[in-house]
Amino acid sequence: MLIVQRTYTPKPGAGGLVGLLKTVSQKTIEAGLPEVKVYRKFLGPHGIIVTTQEWESIEVYNNSRNMVRQTTGITSVFGQIYPLLDSTHVTEILESV
């Protein structure tokens, strides 16, 4: 099993990121993909949000990328998220051992 973790750093003063990421989670589930869990960092730089999503394998995750890009319900929400970010999100893939 893999965990795909993404870290989002908003611009100072940008609001609404948590709500938009929760909408991404809902749209992802509606598309038949694994839930995106949303976390707010407790310590460290202010406003950072981390999401996680569990996948069976790297192949399944990679195959989902094209589906996500073709799902306007998801991509339209990311269109609202990107202007809020200080920089592009960071993606990490963790393998369960």
Segments forming the whole domain that contains residue 29: 2-95
Per-residue confidence (pLDDT) for residue 37, from 0 to 100: 98
CATH of the domain at 87: 3.30.70.100
SS3 content of the chain, % helix, strand, coil (to 5): 40, 25, 35
pLDDT tens track, the chain, 97 positions: 999 999 999 999 889 999 999 999 999 999 999 999 999 998 888 899 999 999 999 999 999 998 898 899 999 999 999 999 999 999 999 998 9
- H or E stretch covering 2: strand 2-8
> How far are the Cα atoms of 25, 54, 64 from residue 20, in angstroms, in the given order?
9, 20, 20
Distance of CA 82 to the CA centre of its chain: 11
Query: b/e string for 25-35 if b means 16 or more Cβ within 10 A?
Result: bebbeeeebbe
The single-letter code of the amino acid at 67 is M
Per-residue confidence (pLDDT) for residue 84, from 0 to 100: 96
